[in-house]
Amino acid sequence: MKNIIRPIGYFVVAAIAVLAMGCASTAKQESTGQYVDDAPLTTKVKAAIFNEPSLKSAEINVETFKGVVQLSGFVSSTAAQTKAVQIAKSVAGVQSVKDDMRLK
């Protein structure tokens, strides 16, 4: 009986380790906790940009990965582009901002 229980114990420990690693983040994938942290950050940045009158006509997309905000889409001027980046950087929790916006 001892010979059967020991391999089952090893299997259970290995299965738990594999499941735990499934919740961890990698360089290209967020963990569940990081996704939950990034979702409200994305919403805050979108709201801040939307509430800026000079950016009302801009088509700016916001994505967040591990606190890094990526702005993409189209703006009408370099001033609007600069303003959007400044606004995103001013939101609490933003680690850095990647500017992938293009001029119309």
- Residue scoring higher pLDDT (14 or 54): 54
pLDDT per position as a tens digit, 27-58: 555 555 555 578 999 999 999 999 999 887 67
Enter the tokens of residue 6.
């020991």
pTM beyond 0.75, yes or no: no
Summarize the confidence of residues 53-73 as an average pLDDT: 90
Q: Contact 91/103 with Cβ under 8 angstroms?
A: no
Q: Around 94, how many Cα atoms within 13 Å sit in the side-chain half-sphere?
A: 24
Tokens of 18: 């594999």
E-assigned strand segments in the chain: 59-65, 68-75, 96-103
Backbone angles phi, psi at 78, to 5 degrees: -70, -30
Is the predicted pLDDT of residue 97 greater than 90, yes or no?
A: yes
